[in-house]
Structure 1
Amino acid sequence: MRWLAILFLFTFCALLLVEAAKYFCEDPLSAEKAAAARLMQEALRAVKDEKISKGIKIDPILDPNETGIIGVEYNDLTTTLGSLSSKRISTDPEFAAVVVDMLSQTGIQAGDVVLISFSGSFPALNIAALSAARVLRLQPVIISSIGASSYGANDPELTWLDMERVLSEKRIFPYRSAAASLGGITETKGGLDRTGISAALQAIRRNGIPILEEEGESTLRDDIQRRMTIYDKALTDRRPAAFISVGGPLTSLGNTPEALKLSSGLLKKVPVSRHPERGIIYLMGERKVPVIHLLQVRKIARVYGITADRFPALGLAPGKGQHQGRYSIPLALISLTALLLLTIIAGRGTMILKGRGRSGPV
């Protein structure tokens, strides 16, 4: 028992020593991350200005930070229920730096092509992805859908495609969607008397984006294949550096049981699925294309130290962004070696004591 106590005490002290010796070094991508965060902040401000100019009220209860990018709970363009707290967290410009961090881990380089799937559910994350793409000088190929979950870009006068156009006209982003669909609204029928579908079609047409026909789950495999065809045509025999899926579009996830277990964040290797209705995420995984799956926003925020309802703090939290925490390797090796030696000594000491205990007069 005495040796066990000594081992425990030594291990505890060694851990404290290694942790105390941890030092922070400058993140080599700190400039890019800060630039992406600033660009996202500029884009959010432009969207807010557009919303005000259209006379669309910013609800101080739903959007206490007055970002202007939080929609209503439900209307004809709403496809599914959504989390208000997730939508609020997603407006933090630090998410642009998060996307830069994830893209950098794929080995991406300037000029590379990234394939992107947007919906109206998380317009702030769409902007985060575009901010990262511009700062890293990437070439995005974008397919969008109009439908949005609760509190997303569900205002008929300011859909995601309207935001995208405004940001292009203001020269914040030089990107536009290659095609756009109605999205999940085809399943919900777009509210009473199909008014939502009508509003979505008007939004696609007024923004001059080619319409991507779809009919929901009944034609899911065809819908997925049509998107893959658009991506492949834009690639012109080039290999995509990454696929970014924002939100949870059915075409990205597919209609598979595995999709419910899919992790969010950077997926360097996507789990294999043989389901006939597996989504684009799985198809990209089969092609060995890294996937950035921007869903489960609060989980991603926790990993990167982003606080809920905080706006805007451009510097990333210590150890997560501008500075990276590193441990002293020599000190860790010395501590480990000492622990192994102490364990061996303790083991031998225990054996000697047991041997003495068994010996005695015959």
Structure 2
Amino acid sequence: MFRPQIQKTKTLFFIACLSMVSVYLVSQSNTYIEKDGIDDKIRATEIMQSYINSIKKSNLVSINDEDLYQTGLIGVESSNITTVYNEGSKNFLNSKISCTHPNFSALVVHLFKEAEISSGDTVAVSMTGSLPGANLALMAACEALDISPVILSSIGSSSWGANREDFTWLDMESYLYREKLIKDKSLAVSIGGENDLGENLTDKGIEIIEENIISNNFDLVNESSLKENIDSKMNMYKRKLPIENYSAFINIGGGSSSIGYGAAKDSMKVGVLFPIEIDDIIEDNKYFSSSLAYNFMNKGVTFINIKNINILGKDWGLYPPDKSIDINNGKLFYETENYNLNVIIFTLLLNLGLITFIGIYSHQQIKRRMKNEEYDSVL
């Protein structure tokens, strides 16, 4: 029995399968929209990658097995200059690793834009040796956006940070400065650790840090108490610029002088914090009122807290660290919307084209069949 192509079971089955595949492809498709500031973010990642590449080529440090991204920025579990020791803590190590991905500099750019910091602005920075990746990310973001950082550092570091005795945060910073990869370096340096005076370090550890500061030609901030260290650092910031004229105060790590003494600082909010939030912060951490961050917020300066990376980095796909995280890709760079118009148009045209082709072909089959039947009837 004659049946045109369009009526054949296998043809109808093929059309149905193609339609189902098309629906699936459309349902799984996405549109990627570039986020504001993507060019600045890409520029920052390129700069941070140049820092990492230079450090790796310097032969100043060996890369250990825990360094997932092979950056040279991951230290050791324990040393004489380790201020906080977390034995076997995977989350602790992962936080350090997450900061070493170049995309972390894009996160800093994002925080800058959220805080409405723009080209030509000056920011006050207080960083420790605990998160060297975040320190470099901050410097890369400042370079990409033409922002001037006024930096004070502390050398002590928690586990897996810049806690190698022969390659401290100061060694990293000094090397990059000598290589002319960074334009700004720390104005002065404190020991860090408990009360910013290294009170939880051994005499040997303090001696190593002090020698490191001297060998790198930095001024040492080492007063008789935490309060006096804070006052000394505030005066250094003031000598550069009136406090209220800074566009933000940025903390990296858990320095006592930066965000206060005690365990409560470990549960503080992270990211961009505005002066209006100061009372809420003190309610959660009473020691915050004795910190650099408080002094800045009290003058109406925005506070950016780069700490608790498991929280800060998670929403942006940077935590936990994973080798599959691509540079210049992800939530920081693109907004994802369901369905892709190009996929919809392609599958629609494919289905319409197939059906049209089968329809025309079947019509021609029917015409030929009718002609043959007319010819047979004449005979």
TM-score normalised by the chain length of structure 1? 0.76
Aligned twin of 2:245: 239
When the two structures are aligned, how many residues end up with a matched partner? 298
User: Are 1:242 and 1:292, in contact at CA under 8 Å, matched by a contact in 2?
Assistant: yes
Contact 2:85 2:159 in 1 (8 A): yes
Q: Which residue of 2 aligns with 1:45?
A: 53
Query: Out of 322, 326, 334, which is 1:313 matched to?
Result: 326
Give the aligned residue type for 1:79.
Answer: T
Aligned to 1:280: 292
Shift of residue 74 of structure 1? 0.6
Q: What is the one-letter code of the residue matched to 2:332?
A: G
One-letter identity of the residue aligned with 2:55: V
2:220 counterpart SS class? coil
**Cα distance in 2, alignment partners of residues 246 and 292 from structure 1:** 9
Distance 1:190 1:307, change over 3 A: closer
Report the counterpart of residue 62 of structure 2 in structure 1. Answer: 57
Q: CA deviation at 1:189?
A: 5.0
Task: Report deviation, 1:245.
Answer: 0.4
Q: Which residue of 1 aligns with 2:74?
A: 70
Partner of 2:309: 297
* Amino acid aligned to 1:271: I
Deviation sequence 1:6-65 (CA, Å, 0-9, x none) = xxxxxxxxxxxxx99996532230000011011111111222223xx23x43222x2243
Q: Secondary structure at the match of 1:103?
A: helix
Cα pair distance change 1:153/1:285, threshold 3 Å: same
Q: d(CA) in 2 for partners of 1:63 and 1:144? A: 23
1:268 aligns with 2:277: no
Equivalent-residue separation in structure 1 for 2:133 and 2:68 (angstroms): 16
Contact 2:156-2:198 within 8 A present in 1 as well: no
Q: What is the Cα deviation at residue 211 of structure 1?
A: 0.9
CA shift at 1:212, angstroms? Answer: 0.8
Assess if the C-alpha contact under 8 Å between 1:93 and 1:314 holds in 2: yes
CA contact (8 A) 1:92 1:310 kept: no
Gaps of 5+ in 1: 1-18, 328-362
User: RMSD of aligned C-alpha atoms?
Assistant: 2.5
Asked if structure 1 preserves the Cα contact closer than 8 Å seen for 2:244 and 2:301, the reply is no
Which 4+ runs in 1 deviate beyond 4 A? Answer: 19-24, 274-277
Deviations 1:201-232 (A, max 9, x none): 111111111111145xxx12211111111111
Q: CA separation in 2, counterparts of 1:266 and 1:22?
A: 30
Aligned twin of 1:94: 103
Structure 2: segments with no counterpart, 5+ residues:
1-26, 87-91, 339-379
The reply on whether 1:103 has 2:109 as its aligned counterpart is no
Q: Distance in 1 between matches of 2:253 and 2:243?
A: 28
Separation in 2, partners of 1:108, 1:198: 39
Alpha-carbon displacement from aligned partner over 1:137-185 (angstroms, at most 9, x marks no partner): 0111000011000011111221111101111122211111001011116
1:137 to 119, 124, 146: 146
Deviation at 1:323, TM superposition (A): 2.1
The answer on 1:34 being equivalent to 2:42 is: yes
Alpha-carbon separation, structure 2, partners of 1:252 and 1:210: 18
Residues 104 and 197 of structure 1: is their aligned pair in 2 closer, same or farther, counting only changes over 3 Å? same
* Rg (Cα) greater in structure: 2
Aligned to 1:151: 160
Note if contact 1:120-1:145 (Cα within 8 Å) is conserved in structure 2.
yes
Give the conservation status (yes or no) of the 8 Å contact 1:69–1:152. yes
* CA distance in 1: counterparts of 2:111 and 2:72, whole angstroms: 27
- In 2 relative to 1, CA 149–233 (structure 1 residues): closer, same or farther, beyond 3 Å? same
Q: TM-score under structure 2 normalisation?
A: 0.73
The answer to whether the 8 Å contact 2:96/2:161 transfers is: yes
Letter in 1 for 2:334: H
Classify the secondary structure of the residue corresponding to 1:314.
coil
**Counterparts of 1:235 and 1:322, CA distance in 2:** 33
Q: Is the 8 A contact 1:79 1:188 kept in 2?
A: no
CA distance in structure 1 between the aligned counterparts of 2:291 and 2:312, rounded to whole angstroms: 22
**Residues 168 and 325 of structure 1: is their aligned pair in 2 closer, same or farther, counting only changes over 3 Å?**
same
CA distance in 1, matches of 2:243, 2:294: 20
AA aligned to 2:322 is R
SS at match of 1:243: strand
